[in-house]
Structure 1
Amino acid sequence: MKIIEHQGNGINYYTLVNNHHMSVTIMDWGATVTAIKTHDKDGNFANIVLGFDDGADYITYQSFFGATIARVAGIIKNARWRQYDLTQNAGENHLNGGNMPQISFEPWFLERKLHTSDQVGLVMQYITLDGENGYPGTMTITANFVLDNDGKFTISYTGKSDKTTLFNPSNHTYWGCGTPH
């Protein structure tokens, strides 16, 4: 079990590796899963997620491939919640947390690494301010990425806000079934 770190184009990458050589790579830009390498459906060792070969393309194209989506994943009709007007970024609606800033395309802070005899992981954070994209409350969002030695990869999210607010995050990984990038 290990964590391999590297940088490229100003982006930090962290690869979680278990004892069976399965690996998951996460970059700090958008707390994004860029690769999961394991045996595919045909038994070949391959990256099973869709994405870009160059991390800079995640910044350029802002496709949501593998990104953390928050404060709210999905669409909020008419971009309104209670008395709050949220950013309209999908016609009259609010999509995937807005776009001023869109935290799927912002750098996240590595709070700490996790390492035990049967798990490796990362805890990443992003702080979104009161009023960003119309949401009430300053919120600290924490994303936990954990790979265990049995090949189980989990992502969990928590949010702590100083006001009542919405929070329904997700990860936007697309599965490629072993198809090369």
Structure 2
Amino acid sequence: MRGMGLVALCAGVAIPALVQAAEPVRTVFGTLPDGRTVEEVTLTNGKGVTARILSWGALLRTLDVPDRAGTPADVVLGYNDLAGYLAKPNYFGASVGRYANRVRAGRFTLDGQTYALATNDGPNALHGGAAGFDKRLWTITAVTGGTAPSVTLRYVNPDGEEGYPGTLSATATYRLDEANTLTVTYEATTDRPTIVNLTNHSFFNLAGEGSGRSILDHVLTIPAERYTPVDATLIPTGAHLPVAGTPFDFRKPTVIGAHIRAGRDVLIVRGRGYDHNWMVTDAPTADPHPVARVEDPHSGRILEIGSNQPGVQFYAGNFLDATAVGKSGLAYRQSDALALEPELVPDTPNQPAFGSARLDPGQTYRNTITYRFSTSPAHRTHR
């Protein structure tokens, strides 16, 4: 991942002592109302990073990462028990699909046939519908150890579920390496033409989900010249607008809170802050490219995100309303965390100018997302 290099640790900065990477641990996390068992797999590296993944929603439940002093903290929102994910899921850490983000009016046409999807976001379909991939029990198919432990989960999405055509076989693989990179790879195949767009919906707060600090002082970089404006229902209008001179310009490191309340910008008002797509590339690429960089100046934690997908949705947690109580006993509220979702442009199935979301039999869909963590040596000021 070039162009957004990691900040080197300088002399005098505390570095946690190296420990031996532990073998993956597979445990029972809870039981669904119908009696099925939800499992959790814990991945640990030798640098103090630990990730816990649930078979429910193939979701990332915890992600412990050291700060600049070597003290770890959990940097993703979530719950300590299965009841929380069933009652107030909020897409915390979830794998979302079959089509991540929004589809206008919950309808699209493929090969002359119009399909009606479940609408669960006003008039639109969002993140696969009322019971998308985030609300399904995935099957753990492989757990591997060594210096890069991993877990692979599989979900078979039957023809017609939530209105989507074709039986889709999807996998999610989480892999943690010694470079403090958590890689999430989504792959899918189908038995008939369909649409697919999978991503991860983790909510990050690099100060720690239990810190009580908001993400408004996090510093964000998105290497995109253009973004896609939206209508009143947050569906892209079809335009690509330059970010220059707007609150959407994150080409240089910018404090998130600097323009999040820019009330004169109708698009900020419509999203209640940031809930928009940036165009990083024109089309999917063979390998991951940088899509975003986030830094918390207080803890020193840095997160660099890469993906082979063209767009990234930046959502600043605008609709968190303090009704969900998380792992540390805090009521999650607006701006307590952010999501950066590498994916296709929202509503691509209805807007050919954005590319194609089509998947045919014999093809393999793939979205490889990398989350690489490091630390900065000192508190720095950004505008």
- TM-score tier by shorter-chain length is over 0.9
- Distance in structure 2 (CA, Å) of the matches to 1:92 and 1:63: 19
Provide, for residues 130-151 of structure 1, a one-character-per-residue CA deviation record: whole Å limited to 9, x for no partner: 1111111000011010001121
Q: Judge conservation of contact 1:40–1:48 (CA < 8 Å) in 2.
A: no
Q: Is 1:98 matched up with 2:129?
A: yes
Partner residue, 2:28: 7
The letter for the 2-side match of 1:111 is T
- Distance in structure 2 (CA, Å) of the matches to 1:156 and 1:26: 14
SS in 2 for 1:137: coil
Q: Is 1:167 matched up with 2:189?
A: no
State how 1:77-88 maps to structure 2 within 5 Å.
77-82=104-109, 83-88=114-119
SS in 1 for 2:149: strand
The letter for the 1-side match of 2:60 is V
CA shift at 1:162, angstroms? 0.5
CA shift at 1:53, angstroms? 2.2
- Distance in structure 1 (CA, Å) of the matches to 2:54 and 2:152: 12
Q: Which has the higher strand share?
A: 1
Q: What is the RMSD of the two structures over their aligned residues, measured on CA atoms?
A: 1.4
State how 1:17-166 maps to structure 2 within 5 Å.
17-40=44-67, 43-82=70-109, 83-99=114-130, 101-116=131-146, 118-166=147-195
Provide, for residues 100-131 of structure 1, a one-character-per-residue CA deviation record: whole Å limited to 9, x for no partner: x3220121000111233x21001100011111
- Distance in structure 1 (CA, Å) of the matches to 2:70 and 2:49: 13
Question: Percent same amino acid among aligned pairs?
Answer: 29
CA shift at 1:81, angstroms? 1.2
CA shift at 1:84, angstroms? 1.1
Number of aligned residues = 179
SS in 2 for 1:9: strand
Q: Judge conservation of contact 1:79–1:88 (CA < 8 Å) in 2.
A: yes
The letter for the 1-side match of 2:191 is D
- Distance in structure 1 (CA, Å) of the matches to 2:80 and 2:184: 22
Runs of 4+ in 1 over 4 A off after TM superposition: none
In structure 2, runs of 5+ residues without a counterpart are 1-20, 32-37, 211-327, 329-383
SS in 2 for 1:123: strand
SS in 2 for 1:119: coil
The letter for the 2-side match of 1:9 is G
Q: Judge conservation of contact 2:93–2:202 (CA < 8 Å) in 1.
A: yes
Q: Judge conservation of contact 2:156–2:169 (CA < 8 Å) in 1.
A: yes
- Distance in structure 2 (CA, Å) of the matches to 1:106 and 1:42: 39
- Distance in structure 1 (CA, Å) of the matches to 2:53 and 2:184: 11
The letter for the 1-side match of 2:26 is E
SS in 2 for 1:68: strand
Q: Judge conservation of contact 1:13–1:27 (CA < 8 Å) in 2.
A: yes
The structure, 1 or 2, with the larger RCO (C-alpha pairs under 8 Å, 6+ apart) is: 1
CA shift at 1:9, angstroms? 2.2
Structure-2-length-normalised TM-score: 0.45
Given the superposition, is the C-alpha separation of residues 5 and 91 from structure 1 closer, same or farther in structure 2, using an over 3 Å criterion? Answer: same
In structure 1, runs of 5+ residues without a counterpart are none
- Distance in structure 2 (CA, Å) of the matches to 1:97 and 1:42: 41
The letter for the 2-side match of 1:96 is H
Moved more, 158-167 or 34-43: 34-43
Structure-1-length-normalised TM-score: 0.93
SS in 1 for 2:77: coil
Computing the radius of gyration over CA atoms, which structure comes out larger, 1 or 2?
2
- Distance in structure 1 (CA, Å) of the matches to 2:182 and 2:64: 11
Q: Judge conservation of contact 2:142–2:151 (CA < 8 Å) in 1.
A: yes
CA shift at 1:160, angstroms? 0.6
Partner residue, 1:176: 205
SS in 2 for 1:143: strand
Q: Judge conservation of contact 2:97–2:197 (CA < 8 Å) in 1.
A: yes
